[in-house]
Amino acid sequence: MAVSPTQATQSDVVDAIRRDILDGELVAGQRLVEAELSEWLGASRGAVRGALIDLTHEGLVERIANRGARVRVVSIEEAVEIIEVRAAVEALCAAKAAEKITDEEIAELRQLGEDMSAAVASGDVGTYSRLNTRLDERFIAISGQKVAAETIARLQGRSVRHQYRLAYRPGRSQISLPQHLAIIEALARRDPTAANRAVREHLASVLDAVREVASSRWEPSGGR
C-alpha cells in the first residue's frame, strides 16, 4: 500500500486508499485506523484524516460514532439501485459510442476482447477484471457523454464491485465474457440499438449475480 519513500500528500493517500478499496485489498467493513494508515503510506496523521474525509464524501468510507472509519458497507438494496442506474446510463453511453466510434477504436476494443478471452482461458481473473474496467472506461470515453461519465464516476464511489467481488465468483468470468464480447461486437458494427441492449443484458446478469451472492453469503478468497 505504500505510496513512496517521501511523505505522501493527502491526494496521494486518497488515491492509494481508493485503489486498495476498489481492488479488494481493503474489504467492506474493514476498519481504517489513522495511525496504521499513516505508517503504511508514509503520510502525516493530518493527511490521512483529510483523505478519509474525502473518501467519505465519495461514498467509499463511512465514519461510525465512537468507532472511527471503515470501508463502507453497501446494502443489497442500495446495490440493486446502483446497478439499475448504471444500466440506464452505461447503455446510453454504449449507444452513443456506437454512433461515434472510429476504425482505430474498433481495433482497440477488439484487441481488448482478445485479451479478455486469453485471461479467462488462462484463469487470470485479476487481469480479466482490470480489462473489464478498461472496456467500460473506453466506450464511455468514446461516447463523449460528459454528464453521463460524471454520473458513472460518482456511482463508482458507491460501487458494489469491491464488496461483492463478482469476478472471483467461480464460473462468473465464463458467464460475463460472452456478454462483454457482445458489447464489443455491437460497437464494432456501429449498431446503437444492439450496443444499448448488450450493456443492459450484461448488467441484468450482474444484478442477478449480486442477488445470488447476497443470498448465499459467499465469500471469495481474495481479489474482487
Residue type, 159: S
- In 58-82, which positions are buried (b, 16+ CB within 10 angstroms) versus exposed (e)? bbbbeeeeeeebbbbebeeeebeeb
pLDDT surpasses 90 at 214: no
Per-residue confidence band for 198, with pLDDT thresholds at 50, 70 and 90: very high
pLDDT surpasses 50 at 220: no
Chain position carrying cell 474496467? 133
Q: Which three cell numbers stand for residue 180?
A: 462483454
Integer Cα distance of 186 and 180 in angstroms: 10
Q: Domains (ranges, CATH) in the chain?
A: 10-71 (1.10.10.10), 76-216 (1.20.120.530)
Q: Which three cell numbers stand for residue 92?
A: 446510453
Give me the mean pLDDT over the 104-114 stretch.
98
pLDDT surpasses 60 at 51: yes
pLDDT digits (tens, 9 = 90+) for 153-192: 878 766 555 555 676 778 889 999 999 999 999 999 999 9
Q: What is the mean pLDDT of the chain?
A: 87
Q: Which three cell numbers stand for residue 97?
A: 459510442
The alpha carbon of 25 is separated from its chain's Cα centroid by a whole number of angstroms, namely 13
List of E strands, the chain:
31-32, 61-64, 68-71
Integer Cα distance of 180 and 191 in angstroms: 15
User: Which residue, among 38, 28, 39, has the nearest Cα to 73 in the 3D structure?
Assistant: 28
Q: What are phi and psi of 62, to 5 degrees?
A: -130, 150
Contact yes or no for 141/101 (Cβ under 8 A): no
In the three-class reduction of DSSP (H, G, I as helix; E, B as strand; rest coil), residue 62 is classed as strand
pLDDT given at position 219: 46
User: Which residue, among 4, 5, 29, 26, has the nearest Cα to 17 in the 3D structure?
Assistant: 26
